[in-house]
Structure 1
């Protein structure tokens, strides 16, 4: 598994798996929890070690139990979860502490590799106190890395007034429908690693172009997207319930796109 270095010196896998529909009826985000984590078990068996969940996914506990019981040492995994930007979780410092402790309990772990603020907290004082508690837990070594999700450049600049630890990751939308190029360039310039959610959302027209690019490599349009993102420094967390597709996503690590093909994809709209 390829890894990249974060601004705190730790390394994170360049490719992982999302989990927002795992353990749910009809593999639906809003489906009732049904305890079926076979898709995550399959991903782990294939070699996925970056596992991305969130409190709002409602499946932290199921993800934690699956990782705990898989027979692979905890230190081989990079577990990510996220705190929602609402009073239920970020009203005050004690509430944030309780939220983090619940995540640790749900994930059945002594530490969390990456804890993100799931969406911008528009109240600056609430954002400040949430970040200060996250920094506190880094100091306790209960969280290894802290970051944000769906933050704009302006949101990140706002944090400079109070953050003593710079965000290491910003998890954002990035796919052919919206590459988010300007934000990604800003993040990379400032040593904040971009991570793409929904990396394979694409139109049929996009898929046709990407399929043609992939033919000389013997790769699919989806593998081309993932390779493109990784080559430009973006961590990707595709998600599939199908073991064959999970394996194919991992196989995007096995080739390199030419500079010419990277430029073609740069201009894909």
Structure 2
């Protein structure tokens, strides 16, 4: 009987560590994300999620352990290098220009041009049509790609950023707390397009502090606390209740309950 070997993960971290002087920001963290999978990284403030993002995005180099992209060991030295390898990061602030139209933000920094010599200019028609088409391919039907992106809801702006990363060739999408500042309905919209990116074959790293959002879409769950990994589970190995308890601190929360109980 022959078994089909699982393809190498798109991103794989093995015992990765990072220190800033004497401060340990990460210690011995491992995770992997394959094509068409969502790996959720959960933790409260100060858990090490931001440091992990910076390592995967190429902003900071790790001190220890191994980072592999497409099976090749690497030490990313810049966000540009990460992008060239197909790793795109969408941060919470999204880095958009609110007064510019949606299509201009979609191509910001990568504007196609037409003409030659001194007559070279931005191909506005192409950018409008491409933006509209790419958003529709992700299932995003905006009223008008000429409207300023600042007039969109927070969830819609997140979705535009996801579609942009897909269009520019991302193989791995790292999302930094995409639902943190959103209500229930807008969070659902964003999670829908996170799942759409997964269904198009991307590997997704979803950073969040919300176990309910993570469990809705996640295939794997990595839990961080004070820079260390306290859990690494596949979806079929943990329930939402167990995930929430581990995220909340488990025994620490139980001890606090006893401390706060009335006599």
Higher RCO (Cα < 8 Å, 6 or more apart)? 2
Q: TM bucket by the smaller chain?
A: 0.3 to 0.5
TM-score of the aligned structures, taking structure 1 as reference length:
0.37
**Greater share of helix:** 1
TM-score, normalising length: structure 2: 0.37
**Computing the radius of gyration over CA atoms, which structure comes out larger, 1 or 2?**
2
